[in-house]
């Protein structure tokens, strides 16, 4: 019995050790910006979630697409109904890993320039991205940030020729998450 | 015993290593009750209201036009199938005060007992259908007041003879129940009440009606729309008017709706000549079967006002 307890203790211990390296965030902010001949389009949300494992370098982001707020509400409606089809594809999700530098150094205090590789699932289409970002570790707080481009055609987001002047084909996406353990 | 403990350890390691790689398991999809969006593209279907309202700070400039009879004795080739005549024209400014409350003012030419009409309206969304069917239908209420500015008819029995200012006024109260069935189909049911302060002999000051309408999306930007109202006019009133050679018909319209970014165009055919509920529900005297239907269009242009600086922050 004693031995059993010891084993259990070891098992739980290992879980704990691993869990300590995982940081999560429930108010990750996402925004995107596109500049087109007719008008700039901008939207943002802070309803995303994210998690990061400083030991393995695994990163995860997920955002309910219909939480993006536009200044023009009609645009927001079209974004959900016509372009991103949020009824069918409610979430955008990124599963990836820090590939540079070596994950072992991530836990150290300071700002790390990192390269993250992973799969972005958006509008029901998966695509592999390799993008630059930063991970800042300070006093037990972790912040991740990145800015990258998404080409609408890569995710089968179709723009009718009628409004092609209003919508850019590439949008710049900004992500920021502040994590707690 | 050893075997069991080994198994336990390996199991434990298994779980932890899985948790490491797939961080997605940390988050459950607890999005709650999400409202259904875009039951209709516009605040109107053909003439009557949909459950949609303007969002906060949105201005909707609307122009609606109904032409003359396409067929029958007033239609045909000599009037270009009604295009030379206009039975009713309405120009409106409508505005969203909150995401659920809108108001508006309009001017309509008017077609029926009264003409030269100003209208004030308000519309409020009470319930929103949710994607998980926690709330299965949307409910919106609409009300308006109209005032006719036409000169009073000398004939004291005429509905357009005004002894007092209030004789010029009519009202509509309506509840719009709507449901979006999947991506393509949306339907409404609209119990409606029309009150006209002054009406002709044997006509009704109060009239209930039931409206039904629907949309079938043909593509993302093109939809087929149809609308029908059944007014509950008393048999004695119908009989009296029939004896005077006047027959009332139930308004029926069908059309296509085209969305192009900020504009929504509705191109439709209706038997009713009027655009306002206050008139087309109780006073439609033209029949599809006698060629008395007409071409009409609604144009809606939505602008987002204010908030540009606030939003930037």
State pLDDT tens for residues A106-126: 888 889 999 999 999 999 999
| Interface touch B23/A58, C-beta < 8 Å | yes
| Interface touch B99/A73, C-beta < 8 Å | yes
B2-21 and A2-20 helices cross at what angle (nearest 10)? 10
**B217 contacts in A (CB within 8 Å)?**
none
pLDDT at A169 over 90: no
| Interface touch B12/A15, C-beta < 8 Å | yes
Rounded to whole angstroms, the Cα distance separating A153 from B62 reads 34
Residue A70 β-bridge partners: A43
- Higher model confidence: residue B14 or residue A24? A24
Using CA atoms, how far residue A15 sits from A11, A20, B80, in Å, is 6, 9, 81
**Mean local confidence (pLDDT), A155-160:** 84
| Interface touch A3/B1, C-beta < 8 Å | yes
Closest chain A residue by Cα to residue B9? A11
Nearest to A116 by CA among A93, A148, A88: A148
**Among the partner residues B1, B23, B220, nearest to A53 by beta-carbon distance:** B23
**Among the partner residues A64, A66, A74, nearest to B262 by beta-carbon distance:** A74
Residue-level pLDDT at B228: 97
Burial bucket for residue B309 (CB in 10 Å: 0-12, 13-18, 19+): exposed
- Residues B89, B108: contact at Cβ < 8 Å? yes
Burial bucket for residue B11 (CB in 10 Å: 0-12, 13-18, 19+): exposed
Rounded to whole angstroms, the Cα distance separating B287 from A29 reads 58
Interface test with A, best of B5, B23, B218, B302 (most A CBs within 10 A): B23
Measured over all CA atoms, what is the biggest interatomic distance in chain A, rounded to whole angstroms?
74
| Interface touch B20/A56, C-beta < 8 Å | yes
Rounded to whole angstroms, the Cα distance separating A117 from A96 reads 5
B5 at the A interface (CB within 8 A)? yes
pLDDT at A44 over 90: yes
Rounded to whole angstroms, the Cα distance separating B42 from B54 reads 9
Residue A46, SS3? strand
Interface test with B, best of A50, A72, A79 (most B CBs within 10 A): A72
Closest chain A residue by Cα to residue B21? A58
What is the DSSP code string of chain B? Answer: -HHHHHHHHHHHHHHHHHHHH-GGGG-------PBP--SSSSSBSSSSB-S--PPTTEEEEEEEEEE--SSSTT-SGGGTTTTT-EEEEEEEEEEESSSSEEEEEEEE---SS--SEEEEEEEEEEE--BTTSSS-SEEEEEEEEEEE-SPPPSSTTSTT--SSGGGGEEEEEEEEEEEEETTTEEEEEEEEEEEESS--TT--SEEEEEEEEEEEESSSSEEEEEEEEEE---HHHHHHHHHTT------EEEEEEEEETTEEEEEEEES----SHHHHTT-----GGGT--EEEEEEEEEEE-S-HHHHH-
Residue B16 confidence class, pLDDT cut points 50, 70, 90: very low
**Among the partner residues A10, A64, A166, nearest to B9 by beta-carbon distance:** A10
| Cβ atoms within 10 Å, residue A180 | 10
Half-sphere exposure of residue B68, counting CA atoms within 13 Å on the CB side?
16
pLDDT at B212 over 70: yes
| Interface touch B5/A4, C-beta < 8 Å | yes
Closest chain A residue by Cα to residue B306? A71
Burial bucket for residue B152 (CB in 10 Å: 0-12, 13-18, 19+): middle
- Residues A61, A173: contact at Cβ < 8 Å? no
**Among the partner residues A22, A71, A87, nearest to B308 by beta-carbon distance:** A71
**Among the partner residues A73, A87, A88, nearest to B304 by beta-carbon distance:** A73
Residue-level pLDDT at B14: 45
Closest chain A residue by Cα to residue B182? A87
pLDDT 10s digits, B114-158:
999 999 999 999 999 998 899 999 999 999 999 999 999 999 899
B9 at the A interface (CB within 8 A)? yes
Residue-level pLDDT at B108: 96
Task: Tell me how close the Cα of A65 comes to any Cα of chain B, in angstroms.
Answer: 11
| Interface touch A22/B20, C-beta < 8 Å | yes
Closest chain B residue by Cα to residue A54? B20
pLDDT 10s digits, B172-192:
999 999 999 988 999 999 999
Task: Tell me how close the Cα of A2 comes to any Cα of chain B, in angstroms.
Answer: 12
Nearest to A175 by CA among A36, A90, A49: A49
Using CA atoms, how far residue B259 sits from A163, B48, B219, B222, in Å, is 11, 18, 10, 7
B16 at the A interface (CB within 8 A)? yes
Rounded to whole angstroms, the Cα distance separating A143 from A136 reads 5
Residue-level pLDDT at A123: 95
| Interface touch A53/B37, C-beta < 8 Å | no
Interface test with A, best of B261, B265, B300, B311 (most A CBs within 10 A): B261
pLDDT at B19 over 80: no
Residue A8 confidence class, pLDDT cut points 50, 70, 90: low
- Give the number of A-B residue pairs with CB atoms closer than 8 Å: 98
**Sequence-separated (6 or more) residues with CB below 8 Å from residue A66:** A80, A86, A90, B34, B37
Nearest to B46 by CA among B264, B301, B263: B264
Residue B311 confidence class, pLDDT cut points 50, 70, 90: low
Mean pLDDT of chain B: 89
Interface test with B, best of A6, A10, A11 (most B CBs within 10 A): A11
Which residues of chain B from 202 to 241 reach within 8 Å of chain A, CB to CB? 220-221
Flag the least confident range among A28-32, A39-43, A103-107, B112-116. A103-107
Task: Tell me how close the Cα of B20 comes to any Cα of chain A, in angstroms.
Answer: 7
Instruction: Name residue, tokens 């899985």.
Output: B18
- Higher model confidence: residue A75 or residue B144? B144
Nearest to A179 by CA among A123, A107, A103, A102: A107
- Higher model confidence: residue B28 or residue A91? A91
């Amino acid at each position: 019995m004693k031995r059993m307890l010891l084993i259990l203790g070891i098992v739980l211990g290992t879980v704990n050790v691993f869990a300590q390296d995982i940081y999560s965030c429930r108010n990750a902010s996402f925004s995107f910006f596109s500049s087109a001949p007719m008008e700039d389009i901008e939207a943002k949300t802070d309803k995303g979630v994210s998690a990061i494992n400083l030991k393995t370098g695994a990163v995860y982001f997920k955002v309910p697409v219909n939480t993006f707020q536009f200044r023009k509400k009609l645009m927001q409606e079209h974004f959900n109904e016509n372009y991103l089809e949020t009824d069918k594809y409610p979430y955008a999700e990124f599963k990836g890993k820090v590939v540079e530098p070596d994950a072992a150094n991530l836990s150290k205090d300071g700002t790390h320039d990192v390269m993250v590789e992973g799969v972005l699932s958006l509008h029901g289409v998966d695509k592999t991205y390799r993008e630059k970002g930063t991970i800042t570790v300070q006093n037990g707080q972790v912040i991740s940030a990145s800015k990258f481009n998404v080409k609408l055609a890569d995710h089968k987001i179709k723009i009718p020729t009628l409004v092609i002047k209003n919508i850019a084909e590439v949008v710049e996406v900004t992500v920021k998450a502040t994590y707690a353990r | 015993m050893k075997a069991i403990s080994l198994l336990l350890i390996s199991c434990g390691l298994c779980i932890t290593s899985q948790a490491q790689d797939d961080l997605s398991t940390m988050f459950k999809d607890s999005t709650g009750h999400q409202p259904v969006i875009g039951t209709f593209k516009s605040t109107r279907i053909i003439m009557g209201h949909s459950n949609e309202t303007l969002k906060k700070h949105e201005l909707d400039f609307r122009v609606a036009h109904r032409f003359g009879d396409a067929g029958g004795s007033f239609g045909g080739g000599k009037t270009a199938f009604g295009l030379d005549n206009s039975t009713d024209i309405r120009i409106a400014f409508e505005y969203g005060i909150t995401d659920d409350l809108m108001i508006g003012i309009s001017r309509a030419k008017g077609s029926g007992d009264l003409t030269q009409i100003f209208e004030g309206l308000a519309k409020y969304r009470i319930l929103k259908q949710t994607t998980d069917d926690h709330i299965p239908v949307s409910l919106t209420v609409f009300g308006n007041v109209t005032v006719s500015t036409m000169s009073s008819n000398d004939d004291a029995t005429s509905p357009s003879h005004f002894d007092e200012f209030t004789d010029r006024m009519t009202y509509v109260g309506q509840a719009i129940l709507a449901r979006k069935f999947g991506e393509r189909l949306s339907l409404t049911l609209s119990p409606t009440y029309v009150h006209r302060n002054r009406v002709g002999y044997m006509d009704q000051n109060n009239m209930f009606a039931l409206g039904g309408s629907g949309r079938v999306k043909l593509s993302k930007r093109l939809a087929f729309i149809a609308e029908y109202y059944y007014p509950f006019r008393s048999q004695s009133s119908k009989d009296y008017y029939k004896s005077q050679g006047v027959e009332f018909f139930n308004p029926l319209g069908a059309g296509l709706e085209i969305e192009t970014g900020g504009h929504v165009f509705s191109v439709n055919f209706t038997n009713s000549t009027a655009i306002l509920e206050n008139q087309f529900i109780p006073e439609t005297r033209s029949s599809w079967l006698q060629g008395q239907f007409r071409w009409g269009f609604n144009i809606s242009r939505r602008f987002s006002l204010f908030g540009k600086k606030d939003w930037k922050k």
